[in-house]
Structure formats: C-alpha cells, structure tokens
Amino acid sequence: MAQDSLRLRRKFFGNETTEVAESLAVLGLVYAQTGKERQAERSVMEAVNIYRKSKRNEGPDIAQLLVRLARIEGDLGRYEQSESLAREALAIIQTKMRLGDHLRVLNALGVLARALRGEHKLAEAQAVVMEHLAMNRRMFPNGGRRIARLHANGGLRSERTRQIR
C-alpha cells in the first residue's frame, strides 16, 4: 500500500516534491518495521534529500526524518553516522522547538545515546541517558512505565526490543 501511494504521488506531483518525500518516509518506516533496513535507509535518505532540496531543511519534518534515519543507521551498525544524524536532528528540534516537541527531543536523545554506546563513548552516552531520564521525569512527574523501562534498560534498548513489547 505504501508503495502504491508513492507511485501515485510520483505520477501526480513529480519526483522531487514534499508529497513524495512523505510517502518515502512512510515506506521507509514500513521497511524498517519489517526488518528491511537497507531499503528503509534508501527510502528515508531520499526523503531527507528531497526536503533538503526543497529548502525545508529546518523544521519538524526533516528533524523527524533525521531521527528515523539515525535509528536505521544504528540498526545497521553505522554508529558514527547515527550520532551525526541524531545531533543534527536535536539541533533543529531545539532551535525551532514548539510546544509538544519534547517527545521528539526524547526520541532523538534515545537514538543519540544508542549511537554513542555503539561507538563505545560510554561516558557521553551515560550523560545523554541521564539528560533523557531527567527530561522524562519532568514530563511525567508521576513516573509511569516509560521511566521504569528506561531506567531498567539503561535507556539504550534497540528499536527491535521496543517493537516487540
């Protein structure tokens, strides 16, 4: 279905439009959830490139795509790329932060911590996890399962584990 949507959007809007980028992002998510990381990477990377060409380089859409691409790169064991993409996404989110973007920050911090751990930058990863945990506690002062899971797993679980639960 995602492939059909992409095909139709390419036909009606052209190849370099944000509508096509949105379909590529959805297709990338489908690929990632079905364990097809390389195809997910290609789809999301193409979506990122379209956003960059269209001058929509500094908004929540590109930041979300960068986090998704960072997660995929981490899944592929490319932790340096994952770190770079997560940091770029965080910079965009924190500079252009709007009400409700706190969950995006949490997501990006989690991906960044995982990349740092993969690079064996454990002290820096721990600092990012602590920032993630502190922000989570501020957002959810009554605790909740999310904080307990984060603390129990060191904040560095893989996406596969999250999807299974």
Mean pLDDT of the region 12-19? 85
Provide the residue type at 72 as one letter.
I
Alpha helices (runs of H) in 14-118, residue ranges in sequence order: 18-33, 37-53, 60-75, 79-95, 102-118
Q: What tokens appear for 134 in the block?
A: 């502190």
Please indicate, yes or no, whether the overall pTM of this predicted structure exceeds 0.85.
no
Tens digit of each residue's pLDDT (9 = 90 or more) over 27-55: 999 999 999 999 999 999 999 999 988 86
**pLDDT over 90 at 8, yes or no:** no
Tens digit of each residue's pLDDT (9 = 90 or more) over 90-145: 999 888 767 567 888 899 999 999 999 999 999 999 999 999 999 888 888 776 55
Name the band, by pLDDT with cuts 50, 70 and 90, for residue 2. Answer: confident
User: How deeply is 100 buried, as exposed, middle or buried, from its count of CB atoms within 10 A (0-12, 13-18, 19+)?
Assistant: exposed
Q: What tokens appear for 92 in the block?
A: 């965009």
Sign of CA dihedral 66, 67, 73, 76: negative
**pLDDT over 60 at 148, yes or no:** no
